[in-house]
Structure 1
Amino acid sequence: TLPEPGPDETLDSIGTAGVRVLQRRTGYRFTLDAVLLAHFAATERVDESGRMLELGAGSGVVSFLLVNQFGLGPVDALELQPAVHARLMRAVVLNGCEARVTPLLGDLRRIREHVSGGQYAHVVSNPPFRLADAGVRSPDDERAVSKSEVACDAPSVVAAARYALMPGGGVSLVYPAARVAEVLGLLTQAKLHPTVLRFVHARVGAPATRFLVHALRDRDRGLAVRPPLIVHGEGPGGYSAEVAALMDPPLAESR
């Protein structure tokens, strides 16, 4: 029998392949960033077919999208928080991913304790965005760890990716637009050379809110800046046509 959501959980569906995840009602909940990151990672990888690693997997939505919607993987999904990891393990069964998504419980700051170095073709992460000392910390620990850099910061994410990647392997990240100079600098210092950059805007004419970056270990191919990704528009659900195509199966398929 498939796992059922507990009394404090919701069962949510996302994407065109019917990916399902278990989330705490009052805890951190995934956002559109997860879908945009999975699509970006699948689109921008060049020759990085092979095993993937998700750092800070949370509910597993990025890992499940990578394997079920985009046909990539297998993926090792590293998550720090035991309760979140337990939900991730149940969601592996829900999505029929037992052979393709492997949940790992552990701290990416101690990456060497959990995985062997240099074995991954591609690393992805939708990491905590907010600097640890910026704003009011959430009183909910799960939400605080997922949103603020209390348990991992950008240098830790970059260092873990560098360790895990094979030479020529790629890393795909999503961060707030205001942190673009910092993150590109950290990647370059680690000899993870940025090759693709794409800014995310809520609407045409609005300032960027996020950026997606793809970088290669020890391989500098120059940086391509893609056209802006616009989230909202005249497409289904109020999304732009590009985002709407990632969110729901075509009506003909769902009948």
Structure 2
Amino acid sequence: MPHEVELQPGERVDDLLTYEMKIIQSAEVFSFSLDAVLLARFAGVPQRGRVLDLCTGNGVVPLLLATRTKADIDGVEIQPRLADMARRSVALNGLGPRIRIIEADLKQYAGTGNGIYDAITVNPPYMPVGTGEHKENAHVALARHEIGCTLEDVAAAAMRLVRTGGRVSMVHRPSRLAEIAEMLRRYRLEPKRIRFVHPRAGAEANMVLIEALRDGKPELRVQPPLIVYGEDKQYTKELLDVFYGRRGELGGSE
């Protein structure tokens, strides 16, 4: 059951819809969305070992990963306010012994050494600088735009921190897929598994989930598309299974 924590002005506690988990959110900062939930269910993670979530925001991905693995999970977030919210969300769910939230810049973060993580997840900023960030508050702009880190910064950090043979999983925009694949390979992260997410059947994909293997051999599997809404304009069964934790893993890892 959730533990008691202190909320700051403007904060609320939302239901994560799975395992009675809760999360602290605020309208003043970037809240989690479907992409983070799908990433947490798609990523290949070991049952034991060490897992890292970069750009962790308010900690939703580590919280959801904790339902799938017994590994120790670190979350790195550059924004002090979001890192504080994430720590309190971890405490709210009684997961302090397993999840550690670190306020740090991923470009400098080294953990306790390089190559120490068995798996890394990341939901990075999707948009290059100069595409509207001036219209948003600083918290939202940093989450959406490559102000604090670029795609290359993310790939470089992941290569530095994951062990050989370890997995790096990312959610991003399909429009940048060619750039993503090229950047991952530049940093010795071989794309191995891709799944496109479509808002409805017949519509273009608006998200892509991609998993890479550090120093892996070239061989890419494209999994069946994930459809969000059915013809009845309601979530599909697969989506509901993901939300409610009935389906712990979204597509099998190798």
Q: Check whether TM > 0.5.
A: yes
1:128 aligns with 2:120: no
C-alpha distance in 2 between matches for 1:177 and 1:130: 12
1:53 partnered with 2:49: no
- Give unmatched runs, 5+ long, in structure 1: 251-255
1:28 maps to: 30
1:132 maps to a residue whose letter is V
Whether contact under 8 Å (1:66, 1:73) holds in the other structure is no
Among candidates 213, 216, 220, match of residue 219 of structure 1: 216
Partner residue, 1:253 = none
Deviation at 1:115, TM superposition (A): 4.2
Displacement, 1:19?
2.5
Report if the CA contact (8 A) 1:201-1:209 is conserved. yes
Matched residue of 1:216: which SS? Answer: strand
**Cα distance in 2, alignment partners of residues 60 and 14 from structure 1:** 12
In 2, the alpha carbon distance for the partners of 1:249 and 1:52 equals: 20
Per-residue CA distance 1:90-138 (angstroms, 9 max, x = gap): 11111111111001110001123x4410000000001111111123434
CA distance in 1, matches of 2:206, 2:170: 14
CA contact (8 A) 1:117 1:165 kept: yes
* Residue pair 2:48, 2:69 contacting (<8 A) in 1 also: no
**Stretch moving more, 52-61 or 213-222:** 213-222
Contact 2:47-2:71 within 8 A present in 1 as well:
no
Q: Which of 156, 161, 165 is the aligned partner of 1:164?
A: 161
Q: CA deviation at 1:206?
A: 0.3
How many residues of Structure 1 are paired with residues of Structure 2 in the alignment? 244
Identity %: 35
Give yes or no for contact 1:137–1:148 (8 Å, CA) kept in 2. no
Kept in 2: contact 1:234–1:241 (CA 8 A):
no
1:16 aligns with 2:18: yes
**Distance of 1:222 and 1:49 partners within structure 2:** 26
TM-score by length of 1: 0.90
Q: Which residue of 2 aligns with 1:110?
A: 108
Q: Which has the higher helix share?
A: 1
- Of the three residues 242, 247, 251, the one matched with 1:246 is 242
Q: Which whole-Å CA distance do the structure 1 matches of 2:61 and 2:99 have between them?
A: 11
Q: Which runs of 4+ in 1 moved over 6 A?
A: none
Contact preservation (8 Å) 1:77, 1:103:
yes
Instruction: Give the Cα separation in 2 of the matches to 1:48 and 1:73.
Output: 6
